[in-house]
């Protein structure tokens, strides 16, 4: 039950306060995600510099008074400028990029459950610390052997794969009901910001002589990761009850309006009910499609720009950052709009989640296809890719947030399932790209690959619309009654029926009863079919 304006003076003081510890927690989590995603994203561009011999023509000094014919140029010899050049093939590069995804497949589910049981603070700290160490060791491992570099990136992927489960456990304990979408969006902005800064910085460092060029990328981001880990450990706490700096008013506000607490997570996870839940499978399959789409933009767009526009590495890094710059603003605006609509009580949470999922899937994938149909016009190609990413982040208010609705207690475990699904999609996507796009990519091969992506995205959004639901599930420890779960999904006494909510259920506030516009006609029938 939430507060009203007259419920408590402390609540009024909290609302009037300027500094909210929960938003500081949100921003610090943004920084943690930023550092982890930076270490992950840095490889996709730096690997181009690692495997580029970077020859230059150096004039040969003539001896013994030798004279050149008049008008002729002095003889030159090709000298390799890249002292840390690694002779890997394009296929080998793809395998190394997959190593991070393989590691990320292994870790989210156990990380989510461990975070629920023991708290995300220490779990995230240990893994962030290990991620920083692997970054510092990578240049040595890469020059030693491919196998050592591959193993380092798997370990690094395991660390990065734990970021989302830990973060979403924090959301379930720190974010009030009508703030959680924006809370998640702001945290995820760390990943978008990482790509904004990482791509141009990696391009500049890789083309310089600072610390040997591309090795500097791993040294700098590794140190940033280590500093962030200790900063996180100092300020972040598992829940508002244990935080030393939070006011009593804000603590009370959060506890009364959040979805779950650390005590709820001590209950064993009912895997049998989770894995037979239609809304859970809607999340798994829709996140598979989204993971495929997102991995293209984060991992393959630099290669796409290189193929289509033939951009040099410095310019490629700058252009590849543009989609993320725009997405930081669009993601938070869309998430704020979603929370605002939910708080107004006009639309159900389920309908809004499905609406934003449709926008993200269909709009983003079709724009990506469109980028291959405008020829090699730099402005148009970049505009289509930027728009694709800016619209794609609607999924933060769509299929990427619904797990916090259906089971906030097990938010870490459910996002672990979702992240695993996304990472499996990333691995398969890279294999499909290697097969379809090939070692000698063309505009036509990219177009065929993006068309397949669009088909998968449309399948994902329709499956999500068919089986997705934001109604709290019975197997979550916070579940009280079916009527209460329905009321929470409705966000108010009356809601507008939409195509995303064909079986909408409405509360008749005058009679204090639940009525239905369409199937199921009443609660008893609903309960019997559960």
- pLDDT tens per residue across span 48-74: 767 655 545 445 555 555 555 555 556
Are 439 and 492 members of one domain? no
**Mean pLDDT, the chain, integer:** 80
Are 458 and 501 members of one domain? no
pLDDT band of 525, cuts 50, 70, 90: very low
pLDDT band of 260, cuts 50, 70, 90: low
Burial of 374 (0-12, 13-18, 19+ CB in 10 A): middle
pTM comes to: 0.79
Tokens 């999904």 correspond to 489
pLDDT at residue 95 is higher than 90 = no
pLDDT at residue 487 is higher than 90 = no
Are 364 and 423 members of one domain? yes
More confident residue, 48 or 513: 48
Paired tokens of 200 = 């141009």
More confident residue, 485 or 363: 363
Are 407 and 521 members of one domain? no
Return the closest-CA partner of residue 76 out of 90, 56, 96. Answer: 56
pLDDT at residue 229 is higher than 60 = yes
Question: pLDDT over 70 for what percent of the chain?
Answer: 79
Are 372 and 494 members of one domain? no
- pLDDT tens per residue across span 342-398: 888 888 899 999 999 999 999 999 999 998 888 788 888 889 999 999 999 999 998
Are 185 and 260 members of one domain? yes
Are 382 and 510 members of one domain? no
Q: Please list, in sequence order, all residues whose beta carbon lies within 8 angstroms of the beta carbon of residue 479, skipping any fewer than 6 positions away.
A: 472, 473, 485
> How would you classify the pairing of strands 76-80 and 505-508?
unpaired
Are 420 and 520 members of one domain? no
More confident residue, 314 or 445: 445
Are 383 and 497 members of one domain? no
What pLDDT, on a 0 to 100 scale, did the predictor assign at position 106? 84
Are 382 and 312 members of one domain? yes
Mean pLDDT value across residues 72-99: 62
In a domain, 67, yes or no: no
What pLDDT, on a 0 to 100 scale, did the predictor assign at position 374? 85
Mean pLDDT value across residues 73-80: 51
Cα-trace Rg, the chain: 26
In a domain, 72, yes or no: no
What pLDDT, on a 0 to 100 scale, did the predictor assign at position 520? 38
Return the closest-CA partner of residue 395 out of 515, 303, 290, 262. Answer: 290
pLDDT at residue 492 is higher than 80 = no
pLDDT band of 509, cuts 50, 70, 90: very low
Q: Please list, in sequence order, all residues whose beta carbon lies within 8 angstroms of the beta carbon of residue 7, skipping any fewer than 6 positions away.
A: none
Return the closest-CA partner of residue 135 out of 204, 229, 200. Answer: 229
Q: What's the domain count of the chain?
A: 2
SS3 state at 146: helix
In a domain, 220, yes or no: yes
Q: Write down the H helix ranges in 82-119.
A: 90-106, 108-118
In a domain, 7, yes or no: no
pLDDT band of 518, cuts 50, 70, 90: very low
pLDDT at residue 267 is higher than 70 = yes
More confident residue, 458 or 205: 458
More confident residue, 417 or 58: 417
What pLDDT, on a 0 to 100 scale, did the predictor assign at position 519? 34
In a domain, 504, yes or no: yes
What pLDDT, on a 0 to 100 scale, did the predictor assign at position 202? 80
How many CB atoms sit inside 10 A of residue 483's CB? 15
User: In this structure, what CATH number is given to the domain that contains residue 229?
Assistant: 1.20.1250.20
What pLDDT, on a 0 to 100 scale, did the predictor assign at position 332? 93
pLDDT at residue 248 is higher than 60 = yes
Q: Residue 436: which domain range?
A: 18-55+83-467
């Amino acid at each position: 039950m939430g507060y009203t304006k007259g419920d408590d003076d402390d609540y009024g003081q909290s609302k009037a306060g300027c500094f909210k510890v929960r938003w500081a927690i949100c921003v610090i989590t943004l920084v943690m995600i930023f550092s982890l995603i930076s270490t992950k994203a840095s490889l996709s561009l730096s690997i181009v510099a690692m495997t580029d011999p970077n020859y230059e023509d150096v004039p040969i000094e003539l001896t013994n008074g030798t004279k050149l014919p008049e008008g002729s140029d002095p003889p030159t010899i090709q000298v390799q400028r890249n002292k840390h050049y690694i002779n890997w093939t394009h296929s080998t590069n793809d395998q190394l990029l997959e190593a991070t995804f393989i590691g990320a497949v292994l870790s989210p589910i156990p990380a989510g459950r461990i975070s629920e049981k023991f708290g995300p603070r220490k779990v995230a700290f240990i893994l962030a610390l290990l991620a920083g160490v692997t970054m510092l060791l990578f240049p040595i491992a890469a020059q030693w052997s491919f196998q050592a570099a591959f193993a380092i990136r798997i370990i690094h992927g395991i660390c990065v794969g734990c970021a989302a489960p830990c973060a979403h456990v924090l959301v379930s304990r720190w974010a009030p009901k009508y703030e959680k979408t924006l809370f998640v969006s702001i945290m995820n902005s760390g990943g978008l910001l990482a790509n904004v800064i990482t791509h141009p910085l990696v391009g500049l460092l890789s083309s310089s002589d600072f610390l040997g060029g591309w090795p500097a990328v791993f040294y700098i981001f590794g140190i940033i990761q280590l500093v962030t880990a200790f900063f996180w450990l100092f300020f972040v706490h598992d829940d508002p009850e244990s935080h030393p700096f939070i006011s009593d008013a804000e603590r009370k506000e959060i506890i009364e309006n959040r979805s779950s607490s650390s005590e709820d997570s001590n209950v064993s996870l009912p895997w049998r009910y989770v894995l037979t839940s239609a809304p859970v499978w809607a999340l798994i399959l829709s996140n598979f499609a989204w993971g495929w789409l997102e991995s293209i933009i984060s991992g393959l767009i630099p290669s796409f720009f290189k193929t289509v526009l033939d951009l040099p590495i410095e310019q490629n890094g700058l252009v590849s950052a543009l989609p993320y710059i725009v997405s930081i603003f669009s993601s938070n605006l869309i998430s704020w709009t979603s929370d605002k609509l939910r708080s107004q009580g006009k639309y159900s949470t389920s309908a809004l989640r499905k609406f934003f999922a449709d926008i993200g899937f269909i709009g983003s994938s079709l724009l990506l296809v469109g980028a291959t149909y405008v020829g090699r016009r730099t402005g148009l190609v970049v505009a289509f890719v930027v728009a694709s990413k800016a619209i794609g982040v609607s999924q933060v208010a769509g299929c990427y947030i619904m797990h916090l609705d259906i089971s906030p207690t097990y938010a870490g475990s459910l996002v672990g399932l979702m992240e695993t699904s996304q990472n499996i999609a990333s691995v398969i996507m890279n294999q499909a790209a290697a097969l379809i796009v090939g070692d000698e990519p063309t505009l036509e091969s990219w177009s065929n690959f993006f068309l397949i992506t669009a088909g998968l995205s449309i399948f994902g959004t329709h499956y999500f619309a068919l089986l997705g639901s934001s109604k709290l599930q019975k197997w979550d420890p916070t579940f009280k009654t079916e009527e209460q779960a329905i009321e929470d999904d409705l966000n108010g006494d009356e809601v507008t029926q939409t195509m995303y909510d064909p079986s909408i259920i409405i509360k008749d506030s005058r009679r204090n009863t639940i009525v239905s516009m369409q199937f199921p006609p009443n609660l008893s029938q609903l309960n019997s079919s559960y």
